[in-house]
Amino acid sequence: MKKLTQIVLVGHTKVRLIEGIKQFPTEQLILVLGDKPNLEGEAKVSEIAINIEAIFKSVMEIKRIYVDKEDIFQAALKLLQTIQDAIQNGYKVTINVSGSLRQMAIASYIAGLVSDTPIYSVIPRYDMHFQEVGIEELCSIPY
């Protein structure tokens, strides 16, 4: 059985991302962040990436890649190259779009279609105060 790499589009939803990552036995985690640190919201994305790294660094290899979140096609090409590199290194790959911006989800979908890579997202579970407390369901995105 091949080792699994999860490509995770880091956004502002830490609980959703962490719980989504836990759904699969993973050997390598590739966190996708924006390549423009001054872009609105990117500071929070970086903070969440640090939190995710702290949680999983003792159980899996973690890498980061940086993409242009404003250019869907360049982001798709970077994701596609990342997928191809992981496959060449003997990994099976899946893409977690649970926390992504819409344009990054589109870039992931393009890369997933071209490379025949499964994509998934999670539906969050909320408490009575509308705070995320886990995941309700894992959804595979058809490709």
Question: What is the model's pTM?
Answer: 0.91
The domain in which residue 108 lies consists of 3-141
Q: How many domains does the chain have?
A: 1
H helices present in 22-131, as ranges: 42-56, 72-88, 102-115
pLDDT top residue among 38 and 44 = 44
- pLDDT higher than threshold 90 for residue 109: yes
Calculate mean pLDDT across residues 28-52: 92
Please give the order of strands across the beta sheet that includes 91-96.
Answer: 61-67, 28-34, 3-9, 91-96, 119-126, 132-141
H helices present in 3-71, as ranges: 14-21, 42-56
Per the CB < 8 A criterion, the answer to whether 9 and 97 are in contact is yes
Per the CB < 8 A criterion, the answer to whether 16 and 9 are in contact is no
Compute the distance between CA of residue 142 and CA of residue 31 in angstroms, rounded to an integer. Answer: 22
**Which CATH number is 92's domain given?**
3.40.50.10770
pLDDT top residue among 22 and 1 = 22
